Amino acid sequence: MQQIIAQREVNQESLSVLFNADSLNFFETKLDKLISMYQLETNFLYTKSFSDLSFSVKENYGTTLIKSADKSIKDEHFFSFGTAYNLDEKISGGFVVKHSILSDSRKIGINSAEQSSIVFFPRYTFTPEIFVAPFVGYSSNRQIGVHDDGILYGGEANIKINSGEGFELFSSIKIKEEDILPRKNNVRDFRISATNKFSEFIGNILTVSYFETRKDFYYEADSLIRKEYLVVNNIQSRKENNFRFDDSLRYLQFFPNTNLTLHSSVLWRKIYRNTKYKSATAASQTVFDTEIHELKLDLEGEAEYKKDNFRLLMKTAFTERDEKHSANNFDGANPFFFEQRNTSESQKNNFTQRTSLTISSDYRLSKRDNITLSLFHNKLTYDTPSKENYDDRDELLSIIKIRYARYLNSYFEFFTSTEGTLNKLVYISAQRSSNNNVNRVLKLQSGGTFYGKRLLSYNAFEVSANYTVYDYEDLNPNYKSYSFRQFGIFDSTSFRLTGNIDVKFLGYLRRSEQGELKWKEFSLKPTRFLEESFLLPQLAYIFMDAQFILGYRQFSLKTYTYKKTEKVLDSYYVSRGPITEIYYSVIAKIQLHLKAWYEFVSLNQKRVNEIPNLDFAVLLNL
């Protein structure tokens, strides 16, 4: 029977101090060197369960080095270890240790941070569907050279009730409090959902959730704050409160061969920033904290029809969002600067409405012929109540695509497709109406795939035309209508030369023309021409569980300008050199991948650089 209820997940920060001992164990490391950037990433996860004891170890490490005028190094590290012991069927307990480091050589807001914690938790399971797990521990936190220590406490609880008559109730509570005075961090997540299966064909799920988070950050105090409060660093708190309501209805066989899905969602959100030390004598509007209030409504409807060789899907969605910005005053502050900041924030207020319609269908004309049609239409209205904000605009986007495929025989599939796009952008205010434009794109593609015993080949040809027309280009010389036309050929072929030797080829050729456009006369004046090509012939040798690949890689880009009607070469860039790859399965659970290529770079037929590149990865499934 087709599943009726599919729960919608709301992405929130996970608070869980528990772990899943049935996770997939693996070890993976990657080393990438591309031009002047070096990246190393290592991920490790191992979990194990015995009769009453289970434990988990997780390690993530990444470092990025960028060689430039100012060398940049960024390191990120996360480690956790947890264990749990079952005293009996209902009582268990354990602890979790976590450690994370962030280090960045760039002078950004927080370029150095370290956090360590240890948490002890008991867990009492009343039934398999109901448990409570409070926790308490110790946290050590370092930010921009300042160490803070304190207690970490909270808890989790899950309740699941199944009446056995199609009704199921699920509720979860997750609370995490971190008191590392003078800073505090917390997360609170409350959720309850009710699933009701009215009949074999009708089901509904209702979810109500509340989410609250607070993060405190140090930043260097200015001279005025240092003098007035005798502190080196200031503290800024970012707080967010969310209240959300979701309802989903699934109705199978709403009409014969037709399934219906309806969903609605309402979100109230508040984001606000609080600064601990503020000076009333500051002659600036930046001293005031700000907050954002958001109210969002989502409505969706989807109908799917299936019968024999025909499938039709129709989906419509409506979104409405009201966003308000404001400044927060404080005692002794200069009312003139507060009014300035409040006015500046209110200019960001906006009201958005978005309506979309999606239609897709597949019709199998015969065993060999298939035709698909897809249509997308979207309307956006963006309004700003402030008279100082001129970003009010309407936008229409329509995309239609038709594709026809035919299996000529058991070896060859032929396809052809046509795609058209129309995008119209209209600014309401006269101050920005010079940006009003219409963009039209037409794309034609044709090709095929050959499936042979020794040969597998995919080939495609594509022609596209892109026309952008400004409404008032005669009044504003900075905005000129333009065209972009392109022709492309793509080929991907693999041929089994012998039992363990393959010949492979990957390549494409693109020719593009940019030009000035007069839409009414539909006349073009070419201004720039580009010719881009990529070639990658390879020879692959397969020996037992290893594959060795040797090839030659070449990328070239020619750009031309026009003198009257004559094309003149402007630049000629070429990157070429050998490439090799190795795939090796040491055993069934260990895989190695090495890819290296060397680039000889030429510009205008003069050698300008030589660049080695390397990708190396090891994957171990434990």
Structure confidence by residue, pLDDT tens digits, 545-577: 889 999 999 999 999 999 878 889 999 999 999
Specify the amino acid at residue 566: E
Q: Stretch 106-118: mean pLDDT, rounded? A: 81
Model confidence over 437-480: pLDDT tens digits?
999 999 999 999 999 889 999 999 999 999 999 988 777 677 78
Average pLDDT of the segment spanning 331-346: 92
Q: What angle do CA 113, 116, 122 make, to 5 degrees?
A: 150
Q: If you average pLDDT over every residue of the chain, what do you get?
A: 90
> Residue 54 above 70 pLDDT?
yes
SS3 for 78?
strand
Of 351-360, 410-419, 426-435, which range is least confident? 426-435
pLDDT confidence bin for 236, thresholds 50/70/90? very high
13-27, 239-253, 308-322: range with lowest mean pLDDT: 13-27
Average pLDDT over residues 170-186: 94
H or E element in which residue 472 lies: none
Residue among 84, 88, 16, 18 nearest 49 (CA) = 84
243, 301 in Cβ contact below 8 A? no
> Given this model, what pLDDT does residue 57 score?
92
CA distances to 79, 233, 312, 476 from 617, in Å: 21, 42, 43, 54
At 322, which helix (H) or strand (E)? strand 310-328
Q: Which of 298, 345, 299 is CA-nearest to residue 323?
A: 345
DSSP collapsed to 3 states, 8-29? CCCCCCCCCCCCCCCCCCEEEE
Asked whether residue 15 carries a pLDDT value surpassing 60, the answer given is no
Q: Percent of the chain beyond pLDDT 90?
A: 69
Tell whether the model's pLDDT for residue 8 goes beyond 60. no
Please give the average per-residue pLDDT across 117-136, as a whole number: 92
Highest mean pLDDT among 216-230, 278-292, 315-329, 510-524: 315-329
- What's the number of CA atoms in the CB half-sphere (13 Å) around residue 538? 23
> Which pLDDT does position 432 carry in this prediction?
85
HSE-CB of 285 using CA atoms within 13 angstroms:
14
pLDDT at residue 622 tops 80: no
Which residue carries 């050589």 as its tokens? 105
Least confident of 11-15, 25-29, 81-85: 11-15
Position 10 scores a pLDDT of 35
- What pLDDT, on the 0 to 100 scale, is given for residue 245? 97
pLDDT (average), residues 22-51: 86
Proportion of the chain above pLDDT 70, given as a percent: 95
Per-residue pLDDT, 412: 92
| Structure confidence at residue 11 (pLDDT) | 37
Residue 384: what pLDDT? 93
Confidence at residue 51, expressed as pLDDT on a 0 to 100 scale:
84
**pLDDT reading at 524 higher than 60:** yes
Mean pLDDT of 508-514: 96
pLDDT higher than threshold 60 for residue 489: yes
pLDDT the model gives residue 19? 57
Say which amino acid occupies 101: I
Locate 528 and state its tokens.
């720039």
Region 595-622: mean pLDDT is 89
Least confident of 9-13, 113-117, 427-431, 447-451: 9-13
Is residue 149 predicted with pLDDT exceeding 90?
Answer: yes
Q: What is the mean pLDDT of residues 295-304?
A: 97
Residues with Cβ < 8 Å from 590, sequence gap 6 or more? 618, 619, 620, 621
Q: Span 474-489, mean pLDDT? A: 85
pTM, whole model, 2 decimals?
0.85
Higher pLDDT, residue 475 or 606: 606
Nearest to 372 by CA among 415, 425, 319: 415
Q: Which domains does the chain have, with CATH numbers?
A: 544-622 (2.20.200)
